[in-house]
Amino acid sequence: MASRLRAGWGAILILTLLLAACAQAPPRPPALPPPPLGPQEAVLDQALQEFYGAPYKSGGATPQGVDCSGLIQAVFVRAGVALPRTVAQQFREGRNLAVSELRFGDVVFFNRFCQTRKYGLFTAEMIPGLTDEVCHNGIYVGQGRFVHASPKGVFVSRLDAEVWRVSYMGARRYLPY
């Protein structure tokens, strides 16, 4: 009788292990490779690599020091696209885009880092969305990320981060897709 019980438990154990193996989620497929870049996008990518980590410098437009609109202007001129110098001027150029249309090389705009204005006890920077002024931008690089020059230098941020999500003002496309 004891051997029958052991055989019964053994069968239950094997069956349990088989069912557990079937219940596991299938392995994740490998990440898709990025889409091939055209010649202008490849130039943008190369220029962004050169500027990545550059220090912030108000009015700057070189890898030795750059501000947000200087980064946009310098990177796009290398791809053969002449853009004006300021964020507000750049916002008036190009084709308006929805977030769902964003592709590598599109420029995203925000009302973050605007000149601080006092509103009673509060400042415009303390109240997201208080101003409709565009005063910061960056280059969308895919997967919800963008490269921009902030007071911390040139680095990558996520569009879905709270600070960028609430200050998002729109996007423009300057490249012919």
Q: Which residues are catalytic?
A: 68, 136, 148
Q: Which residues contact 66 (CB under 8 A, 6 or more apart)?
A: 51, 54, 55, 56, 57, 60, 74, 149, 154
Token reading at 105: 């090389």
